[in-house]
Chain A
Amino acid sequence: MLEINNLVVDIEDKRILNGLSLTVNDGEVAAIMGPNGSGKSTLSYVIAGKEDYTVLDGEILLNGENILELEPSERAAKGVFLAFQYPLEIPGVATMTFLKSVLNAQRKARDEDELTTPDFMRRVKKAAETLEIDQEMLKRALNVGFSGGEKKRMEILQMALLEPSFCILDETDSGLDIDALRIVAEGVNALRAKDRSFLVITHYQRLLNYIVPDTVHVMSKGKVVRSGGKELALELEANGYADYRELAA
Chain B
Amino acid sequence: MPAVQETVERVKAIDVDQYKYGFETEVEMDVAPVGLSEATVRLISAKKGDPEWMTEWRLDAYRRWITMREPTWSRVKYPPIPFQDLHYYAAPKKNAAPKSLDEVDPEILKTYEKLGIPLREQEILAGVEGAGSRVAVDAVFDSVSVVTTFKEELKKAGVIFCSISEAIREHSELVRKYLGSVVPVTDNFYATLNSAVFTDGSFVYVPEGVRCPMELSTYFRINERNTGQFERTLIIADKGSYVSYLEGCTAPARDENQLHAAVVELIALDDAEIKYSTVQNWYPGDSEGQGGVYNFVTKRGDCRGVNSKISWTQVETGSAITWKYPSCILRGDNSRGEFYSIAISNGYQQVDSGTKMIHLGRNTTSKVISKGIAAGKSDNTYRGLISAHRRASGARNFTNCDSLLIGDQCGAHTVPYIESKNASAVFEHEATTSKISDDQMFYCMQRGLSEEEAIALIVNGFVKDVLQQLPMEFAVEAQKLISISLEGSVG
Contact = CB atoms under 8 A, between A and B. Distances in A.
Interface string B416-452: 0000000000000000000001111011111111110
Contacts of B32: none
Nearest to A92: B461
Contact of B463 (A75, A92, A98): A92
Contacts of B128: none
A158 B449 CA distance: 14
Interface string B1-21: 110110000000000000000
Given A51-B438, A90-B440, A101-B453, A76 B461 contact: no
Contacts of B437: 88
A50 interface: yes
Contact of A102 (B447, B463, B465): B447
Q: For chain B, which range describes its interface: under 10, 10 to 19, 20 to 34, or 35 or more residues?
A: 20 to 34
Nearest to A108: B5
B458 A102 contact: no
Nearest to A52: B438
A101 B461 contact: no
A88 B457 contact: no
Given A73-B448, A76-B445, A102-B448, A88 B462 contact: no
Contact of A71 (B5, B439, B440, B450): B450
Given A88-B440, A100-B1, A48 B462 contact: no
A87 interface: yes
Interface in B157-193: none
A50 B450 contact: no
A76 B437 CA distance: 20
B453 A93 contact: no
A202 interface: no
B391 interface: no
A97 interface: yes
Interface in B1-53: 1-2, 4-5
A17 interface: no
Given A72-B442, A73-B449, A101 B464 contact: no
Residue picked from B5, B446, B450, most chain A C-beta under 10 Å: B446
Contacts of B464: 92-93
A92 B465 contact: yes
Contact of B442 (A51, A97, A108): A51
A101 to B, nearest CB: 4
Nearest to B8: A105
A50 B444 contact: no
A222 B23 CA distance: 58
Contacts, number: 92
Nearest to A101: B1
B449 A101 contact: yes
Contacts of B4: 101
Contacts of B287: none
Contact of A48 (B446, B453, B458): B446
Nearest to B443: A88
A72 B1 contact: no
A162 interface: yes
Interface residues on A, range: 35 or more
Which one of A49, A72, A84, A100 has the highest number of Cβ atoms from chain B below 10 Å of its Cβ?
A72
B444 A90 contact: yes
A109 interface: yes
Interface string A67-98: 00001110111001110100111111100011
Contacts of A71: 445, 450-451
A9 to B, nearest CB: 16
A91 B462 contact: yes
A163 to B, nearest CB: 12
A104 B440 CA distance: 19
A18 interface: no
Contacts of B446: 48-50, 72-73, 75-76, 80-82, 84
A106 interface: yes
B489 interface: no
Residue from A87, A97, A109 having most chain B Cβ neighbours under 10 A: A97
Nearest to B5: A104
Interface in A26-70: 48-52
A180 interface: no
Interface string A111-135: 0001000000000000000000000
Nearest to B442: A50
B460 interface: yes
A141 interface: yes
Contacts of B447: 76, 98, 102, 105-106, 158, 162
A73 B62 CA distance: 59
Nearest to A86: B439
Contacts of A141: 461
Nearest to A161: B447
Contacts of A114: 2, 5
A128 B439 CA distance: 25
Contacts of A76: 445-448
9 contacts: A51-B442, A73-B448, A80-B446, A88-B440, A90-B440, A92-B464, A93-B457, A101-B1, A105-B450
Interface of A: 48-52, 71-73, 75-77, 80-82, 84, 87-93, 97-98, 100-106, 108-109, 114, 141, 158, 162
Given A72-B442, A108-B5, A114-B5, 13 more contacts: A71-B451, A73-B448, A88-B439, A90-B443, A90-B458, A90-B461, A91-B462, A92-B461, A93-B457, A101-B5, A102-B444, A105-B447, A141-B461
